[in-house]
Amino acid sequence: MGGLRIRVRGQVQGVGFRPFIWQLARRFGITGEVLNDPEGVLIHACGADLGGFVSAITSDAPPLARVDAVETAPHLFDDAPTTFEITASQGSGAETRVTPDAATCPDCLADIRGSDPRRAGYAFTNCTHCGPRFTILHGLPYDRAKTTMGVFEMCADCAAEYTDPADRRFHAQPVACAVCGPQLWLDHGEDVIARAAERLLAGEILAIKGLGGFHLCCDATNAEAIATLRTRKHRPTKPLALMGRWEEIAAHATPSPEEHAALSSSAAPIVLLAHQRSLPDALAPGQDRLGWMLPYTPLHHLLLDAVQRPLVMTSGNLSGEPQVIGNDEAMEKLGGFADGILSHNRDIARRLDDSVMQVTKHGPMILRRARGMVPDTLPLPPGFEDTPQVVAFGAHLKSAICLVKNGQALLSHHLGDLDDPLTWDEFVKADADYAALFDHHPEVFACDLHPGYRSSQHAAARAGAALVEVQHHHAHLAACLAENGWPLEGGAVAGIILDGLGLGSDGTIWGGEVLLGDYAGFTRAAHLMPAPLPGGDMASREPWRNLLARLDQAALSDVADTMLADAPRDVLRQAMAKGVNAPISSSAGRLFDAFAALMGFAGAQSFEGEAAMQLEAMAWRSVAAAGDPYPFSETDGVIDLAPMWEAAVADLRQGTDKSHMALRFHCGLAHACAAIARRLVIAGDAKAVALSGGCFQNALLLDLTVSALGDVPVLLHTKVPANDGGLALGQALIAATTDPRDR
Ligand code: ZN
Ligand code: ZN
Ligand code: FE
């Protein structure tokens, strides 16, 4: 009997693919079987409408699936099958892959708002198309026993759903209902949601257990509650994320179709949307945008339905520490911040922060890759098919690990600042954990050139001989190439890398570079004129220190004397003159800080990037007027900043509108870097221009740079952060191309 052997590749395991195929077979009158194997899903099919069946595999695929390829070949059945069956998985190492956590689907939302007592109002409702995945996983293979749902025995009704291929809960590992599943609590008593809503509406702060950790939550329309939260959490200005249903979002923001798509993706990330000033400024002082996310678990939906207004949902942690995930830990650490703790008895196996995105004129951009986005893999560019297994350990402040295997890269979730001891523990655990999950046995190890990073020290300790130390900004360039699928032999690219701080190949600190190169190597084609960082680390916290150094360098010391009259200028000038605790850096990030200080940013930043974000917000307010760029002059690859400072000080003296000055600054920097990169492309030295580094999270700078580049091909970050969260991907590919004799 003639039929087809159909191979489906992609993200097709753990997403309800086999029951989907089973249902399709019924629809098209197909008999045969479907099963999982190490390559994906395999189908043996016979019937009259095989063509319709095959095309529906792609067109009707379940929401969480990603079909990369459907390959067909003739198949001979000994006897024509009379039924269509889901048969046992085949092949050793047929690891059932785990997919990212997914926001509650519309059907489950209807269930919790419906009348079936098993699911109505039930905060742990989920199905094959939604629910917790990575955050409840202890280990592979992904089945219930290896998750934090293992301790809950399914009731007969849930078991029936779980075993019925026609049911949308068929093989949904976390399946549960009010009879058998986890339960909520808030102090003592029943009606948890109603009481939580009442207390939030009364202005209380609650700690709430979410998918990847606890949040601290309060009424986002209540300025007093926000002030209390900020005081208790010692978080004076860092923006607070909001959660709202479409009703709440529409009342306070106007998302574009692209922003709408980002918000409603199964990852349900925080998306930065223009602030229309209908909510308290204290949510994000000095910023023009607010971070919004949709409710992504049934618990969130039930709460939002009950309060019908936006809620602050900020990560529940002590300052600088990772988010709290355990119930006892929540009592101990969040008890002092929160008036009550809304929790439950389903454990969180993996800590995952909320992911953060923005949509620029050039598409979506991921700022923090975490819940809902991991453990997804990225295919490696052409030429990397046979690379060895590599692990790369990233940087220091926004650390993340990258594993390369079988032509795929797995970039870990955002881990955070390795100076924090608990984050450091997380980092070491994540290294072992991802390696175990992906059966990873690295032959090559990669880290940053900076020997002081704890990630570099960890790499050196693990690696022995096969360690590749990668220059920081080269890694940024390679990360951008990699996510754009730039082939290994694709030729050299001009990389405009505008960043915070990274150790350069010459021993000074870099951060404002135009590099020329590819995965295999680079030269430093141009850079911003280096300036001292007076006070070392203090210069990253206090923008005025950079203003002093740069005004002095531009022969504008008199301006510094007036503007920074109360600052300890003499001490710092002596230190800079002697080179004491004043390392030299071409950092673009510190240049942004200096300019923000010129525009009036005083004192210390209370979070990384605060001054630069305010400067960007300021510049956007003038963007309609189009800015005349400040002059940045370039000589032999060194971009001199003195003409810019002179022009800016002249503007300041004339009383020019500060938002216009901020715009002129952005334009000047964009034009200067774009001109150099464009020249490299036109001369034939580079085939395209790549934009990377933390400063390119600045959507205005990105847009102005792309415009200034004109018609040359441009590569941007969309899938991997432009900041150090994406660095490990670049490190891994550079290490993979390094000759074994040089490792
Ligand atoms: Zn669902
Ligand atoms: Zn049940
Ligand atoms: Fe960086």
End position of a domain, from candidates 159, 181, 203: 181
- In this model, does residue 93 exceed pLDDT 90? no
- Domain boundary (146, 181, 216) is at 181
Percent of the chain with pLDDT over 90: 89
**pLDDT above 60: residue 684:** yes
The CA distance from 538 to 545, in Å, is 8
Q: Are residues 126 and 238 in the same domain?
A: no
| Greatest Cα-to-Cα distance within the chain, rounded to the nearest angstrom | 94
| 193's tokens | 């949601």
Ligand nearest to the CA of 500: 3
Instruction: Give the Cβ contact number of residue 685 at 10 Å.
Output: 15
**Model confidence at 465: pLDDT above 80:** no
Here the CATH number for the domain that contains residue 414 is 3.30.420.360
Say if 325 falls within a structural domain.
Answer: yes
Ligand 2 center to residue 209 CA distance, Å? 21
Whether residue 547 is found in the same domain as residue 684:
yes
Closest by CA position to 285, among listed 565, 614, 598, 650? 614
The token pair that represents 659 in the structure block:
């938002």
Q: What separation in Å is there between the alpha carbon of 395 and the centre of ligand 3?
A: 8
Instruction: Report how far ligand 3's centroid is from the alpha carbon of 156 (Å).
Output: 53
Average pLDDT of the residues of the chain: 95
User: Is the pLDDT confidence value at 579 over 70?
Assistant: yes
Cβ contact 88:96 at 8 Å:
no
98 in Cβ contact with 375 (< 8 Å): yes
| Residues bordering ligand 2, an ion, CB closer than 5 Å | 155, 158, 177, 179-180
Reply yes or no on whether the pLDDT at 487 is more than 90: yes
| Average confidence (pLDDT) over 330-346 | 95
Cα-to-centroid distance, 742 and ligand 1 (Å): 51
CA distance 478 to 732: 9
Residue 480 lies in a domain: yes
- Are 718 and 389 in contact by the 8 Å Cβ rule? The answer is no
**688 and 574 share one domain:** yes
Average pLDDT over residues 207-219: 98
Q: How far is the CA of 161 from the centre of ligand 2 (A)?
A: 9
Q: Quick check: helix, strand or coil at residue 498? A: strand
pLDDT digits (tens, 9 = 90+) for 238-276: 999 999 999 999 999 999 999 999 999 999 999 999 999
Å from CA of 108 to ligand 1 middle: 4
Buried b (16+ CB within 10 A) or exposed e, 496-525: bbbbbbbbbeeeebbbbbbbbbbbeebebb
Our measurement of the distance from residue 356's CA atom to the centroid of its chain's CA atoms, rounded to an integer in Å, reads 6
Whether 362 has a pLDDT exceeding 50, the answer reads yes
Q: How far is the CA of 478 from the centre of ligand 3 (A)?
A: 12
Q: Which residues contact 328 (CB under 8 A, 6 or more apart)?
A: none
Tell me which ligand sits closest to the C-alpha of residue 449. 3
User: Span 659-672, mean pLDDT?
Assistant: 97
Q: How many Å apart are CA 345 and CA 219, to the nearest integer?
A: 25
Label residue 721 exposed, middle or buried (CB < 10 Å: 0-12, 13-18, 19+). Answer: buried
Evaluate whether 366 touches 408 at the Cβ level (below 8 Å): no
Q: Of 181, 208, 242, which residue is a domain's last?
A: 181
Cα 179 to middle of ligand 2, angstroms: 5
Q: Is residue 553 part of a domain?
A: yes
pLDDT reading at 39 higher than 90: no
Q: Write the secondary structure of 645-709 as one string of H (helix), E (strand) and C (coil).
A: HHHHHHHHHCCCCHHHHHHHHHHHHHHHHHHHHHHHHHCCCCCCEEEECHHHHCHHHHHHHHHHH
Distance CA(214)–CA(390), nearest Å, equals 33
Ligand 3 center to residue 493 CA distance, Å? 18
Question: What are the tokens at 34?
Answer: 């479907």
User: For residue 142, what pLDDT is reported?
Assistant: 81
Same domain, 684 and 730: no
C-alpha gyration radius of the chain: 27
Say which range, 85-99, 315-329, 366-380, 566-580, has the weakest mean pLDDT.
Answer: 85-99
Which amino acid type is present at position 706? V
Assign 98 a pLDDT band (cuts: 50, 70, 90): confident
Ligand nearest to the CA of 125: 1
CA 159, chain centre distance (Å): 36
Total domains in the fold of the chain: 5
Report the separation in Å between the CA atom of 160 and the middle of ligand 2, taken as the mean of its atom positions: 9
If asked whether residues 565 and 696 sit together in one domain, one would say yes
Q: Which residue has the higher pLDDT, 634 or 741?
A: 634
Q: Give mean pLDDT, residues 299-308.
A: 98
State how far the Cα of 699 lies from the Cα of 350, in Å rounded to an integer. 32
Residues 6 or more apart whose CB falls under 8 angstroms from that of 662 comprise: 595, 599, 615, 616, 618, 619, 622
Q: Check whether residue 387 and residue 403 sit in a common domain.
A: yes
Does residue 547 belong to any structural domain of this protein? Answer: yes
Query: Is residue 162 domain-shared with residue 222, that is, in the same domain?
Result: no
CA angle, 550 as apex, 477 and 531 as ends, to 5°? 45
Q: 480 and 531 in one domain?
A: no
pLDDT at 26 over 60: yes
Ligand nearest to the CA of 132: 1
Parallel/antiparallel/unpaired status of strands 84-86 and 242-243: unpaired
Q: Kindly identify the ligand whose nearest atom is closest to the C-alpha of 502.
A: 3
CA of 144 to the centre of ligand 2 (A): 14
* Mean pLDDT calculated for residue range 278-305: 97
Tokens of 399: 């650390």
Residues in Cβ contact with 429 at an 8 Å cutoff, skipping those fewer than 6 apart: none
pLDDT for the residue numbered 89: 80
Q: Which ligand is nearest to the CA of 473?
A: 3
Count other Cβ atoms within 10 Å, centred on residue 318.
16
Q: Tell me if 521 is assigned to some domain.
A: no
Give alpha helix (H) positions in 409-471.
421-437, 454-463
* DSSP per residue, 124-180: T--BTTBB-SGGGB-SSS-SGGGBTTTTSPPPHHHHHHHH-TTSTTTT-TT---TTT
Ligand 1 midpoint to CA 96 (Å): 20
DSSP 3-state of 425: helix
CA dist 211 and 133 (Å) reads: 9
Mean pLDDT of 169-188: 95
pLDDT of residue 92: 56
pLDDT average, residue stretch 169-194: 95
Query: CB neighbours of 495 closer than 8 A, spacing ≥ 6?
Result: 473, 476, 477, 480, 513, 514, 515, 516, 517, 522, 677, 689, 690, 691, 692
Three-state secondary structure call for residue 305: helix
**Can you give the pLDDT at residue 273?**
98
The residue type at 660? H
Q: Are residues 287 and 383 in the same domain?
A: no
**Pair 194, 336 in one domain:** yes
Please report the pLDDT score of residue 596 as a whole number: 98
CATH code, domain carrying 125: 3.90.870.30
270 and 334: one domain? yes
Tokens representing 218?
């309060």
For residue 155, is it within any domain?
A: yes
Structural domain harbouring 474? 375-484+725-742
DSSP letter for 464, please: T
Nearest to 174 by CA among 161, 165, 192, 189: 161
Among 7-11, 204-208, 563-567, 625-629, which is the least confidently predicted range?
625-629
> Is residue 368 included in any domain, yes or no?
no
CA distance 469 to 217: 42
Q: 336 lies in a domain?
A: yes
> Any idea what the CATH number is for the domain that residue 678 is in?
3.30.420.40
Q: What spacing in Å lies between the alpha carbon of 95 and ligand 1's midpoint?
A: 24
Ligand 3 midpoint to CA 480 (Å): 12
Q: Say what the pLDDT of residue 94 is.
A: 43
DSSP for 40-57 reads EEEEEEESTTHHHHHHHH
CA of 457 to the centre of ligand 1 (A): 44
Closest ligand to the CA of 128: 1
Please name which ligand lies nearest the alpha carbon of 153: 2
| d(CA 76, ligand 1 centre) in Å | 38
Q: Does residue 325 sit in the same domain as residue 391?
A: no
Rounded distance from Cα 177 to ligand 2 centre (Å): 4
